[in-house]
């Protein structure tokens, strides 16, 4: 397994947000975390990234226990998170946003992403290289946020609600982006509705009230309308 999350308990102060979440992700897989508002999807990704460190439980990435490590060390181990609010720098140009995300290559590895390669793969960003981040549309900002994450050369890419607030036509572009990245990168993404998840993930976990309540291959969940109706907003 590339990632094993074992019985993590995460709190915000006294609020018990994750009440024993366990999941696994194999190298090369694309996994979706589903669930309604407040189910614990974002907190799960933030816990993996070390932003909301779990109070107990284990997170093992490529054989190493990473729980309790600061986020920059988890990033260096090969995990990148694109947060829900995307957090690009609005006052920096597209190129500058990519430049500040650049990391020295890990020892013994050849970098696979450079700004040139990003611009080559995503001409939409190349065309706007000198524009401020603030001038991009929501979908363009999401693509820039993903490109920034790629600059850190992740082995595991975490995407928190990549479609939130985007028009349906843009959601298609984001889906295609995930499909293309999935060929070379292991991905965990979150979503509130089941359709996008089933179209782009191999497997899904459903969360409710800080717990995993269901796990299934995408193909099996597709035909399981009872589970969909029970736990998800079918939009």
27, 28, 38, 114: which one binds ligand ATP (CB under 6 A): 38
Question: Which residues on neighbouring strands pair with residue 33, listed in sequence order?
Answer: 190, 205
228 binds ligand ATP (CB under 6 A): no
Q: How far is CA 181 from CA 17, 30, 93, 114, in A?
A: 30, 10, 24, 15
8, 21, 25, 39: which one binds ligand ATP (CB under 6 A): 39
Closer residue to ligand ATP (CB): 152 or 192: 192
14, 37, 63, 169: which one binds ligand ATP (CB under 6 A): 37
Sheet (strand 156-159) strand order: 79-82, 156-159, 186-191, 30-34, 203-208, 211-217
DSSP-derived secondary structure letter, 184: T
Residues at the contact surface with Mg ion, assessed by CB under 5 A: 41-42
Partner from ligand ATP, Mg ion, none contacting 15, C-beta within 5 to 8 A by type? ligand ATP
Contacts (Cβ under 8 Å, ≥6 apart) of 76: 103, 106
Partner from ligand ATP, Mg ion, none contacting 228, C-beta within 5 to 8 A by type? none
Spell out, one character per residue from 163 to 192, where the chain touches ligand ATP: x when CB under 6 A holds, - when not. Answer: -----------------------------x
| Closest by Cα among 18, 20, 25, 19 to 4 | 25
Secondary structure class of 157 (helix, strand, coil):
strand
Task: Report the C-alpha gap between 114 and 126 in whole angstroms.
Answer: 12
Q: How far is the CB of 198 from Mg ion (least distance, A)?
A: 19
35, 50, 78, 139: which one binds ligand ATP (CB under 6 A): 35
30, 31, 42, 156: which one binds ligand ATP (CB under 6 A): 42
Give the phi and the psi of residue 226 in degrees, each rounded to 5.
-60, -45
Task: Report the C-alpha gap between 153 and 111 in whole angstroms.
Answer: 7
Closer residue to Mg ion (CB): 42 or 227: 42
User: Using CB under 6 A, which residues numbered 4 to 23 contact ligand ATP?
Assistant: 12, 15, 17
Q: How far is the CB of 161 from Mg ion (least distance, A)?
A: 6
Task: Report the C-alpha gap between 60 and 144 in whole angstroms.
Answer: 29
47 binds ligand ATP (CB under 6 A): no
Residues that bind ligand ATP (CB under 6 A): 12, 15, 17, 35, 37-43, 192
């Amino acid at each position: 397994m590339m990632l094993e999350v074992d019985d993590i308990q995460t709190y915000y102060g006294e609020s018990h947000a994750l009440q024993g979440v366990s999941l696994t992700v194999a190298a090369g897989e694309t996994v979706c975390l589903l669930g309604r508002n407040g189910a614990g999807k974002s907190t799960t990704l933030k816990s993996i990234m070390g932003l909301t460190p779990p109070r107990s439980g284990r997170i093992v990435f490529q054989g190493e226990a990473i729980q309790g490590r600061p986020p920059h060390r988890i990033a260096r181990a090969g995990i990148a998170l694109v947060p829900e609010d995307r957090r690009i720098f609005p006052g920096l140009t597209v190129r500058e946003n990519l430049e500040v995300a650049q990391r020295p290559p890990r020892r013994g590895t050849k970098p696979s992403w450079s700004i040139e390669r990003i611009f080559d793969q995503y001409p939409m960003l190349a065309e706007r290289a000198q524009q401020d981040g603030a001038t991009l549309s929501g979908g363009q900002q999401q693509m820039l946020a993903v490109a920034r994450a790629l600059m850190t050369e992740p082995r595991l890419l975490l995407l928190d609600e990549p479609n939130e607030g985007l028009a349906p036509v843009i959601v298609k572009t984001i889906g295609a982006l995930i499909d293309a990245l999935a060929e070379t990168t292991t991905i965990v993404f979150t979503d509130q509705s089941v359709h996008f998840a089933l179209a782009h993930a191999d497997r899904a976990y459903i969360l409710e009230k800080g717990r995993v309540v269901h796990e299934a291959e995408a193909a099996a969940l597709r035909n399981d309308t009872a589970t969909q109706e029970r736990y998800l907003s079918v939009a």
